[in-house]
Amino acid sequence: MAQTHDPAMPEPFKTSRLIHSPRARVFGAWMSPETVREWFSPKHFTVPRARVEPRVGGAFEVCMRAPDGQEHWSLGRFTELAPETRLVIDMRVPGPDGATLFTALTNVDFADAPGGTRVDVVQAYTFENPAIAEGMVKGAPEGWGTTLDKLDALVMGGGKT
């Protein structure tokens, strides 16, 4: 039987990046709201509020503010946390009315690499409204790319990680 593609569940997004800093520092940048506010958003966005409770079941909640002032929340929980090695965050992204637009299961693996730390991100989505799926998934490469650029700049620059 032929398999059909469910638009509510597009293929997971995958990216890898060399971050030019030791693994402990890179992993540490995910572990406090102060550091998450400095880097966890695409280029031109800011993070005015974040809540990070680094334990399984703990919160990973981020408010990203667009240049036009619009705020976008990701409300997540750590489902796995292996210090300096791996983290998994189950996120829900609500729309302006509070209803879930989509969920994202984000797996992040950290490994020593020549010149720093290799960060591998795999993000699997489930969309409540498949009509918005295409635009969201198309933006993931640029969004994650510029977000990881900000992470690299922070940990190289001696920020508060």
Q: What is the pLDDT of residue 29?
A: 97
Q: What is the pLDDT of residue 62?
A: 98
Task: Count Cβ atoms within 10 A of the Cβ of residue 69 and give its class: 0-12 exposed, 13-18 middle, 19 or more buried.
Answer: exposed
N- to C-terminal Cα separation, the chain = 51
Q: Which domains does the chain have, with CATH numbers?
A: 13-156 (3.30.530.20)
Mean pLDDT by 10-residue block, N- to C-terminus, for the chain (161 residues)? 55 94 97 97 96 98 96 96 98 90 95 98 87 72 94 81 43
Q: What is the pLDDT of residue 112?
A: 98
- DSSP H helices, 1-117, are 23-28, 33-39
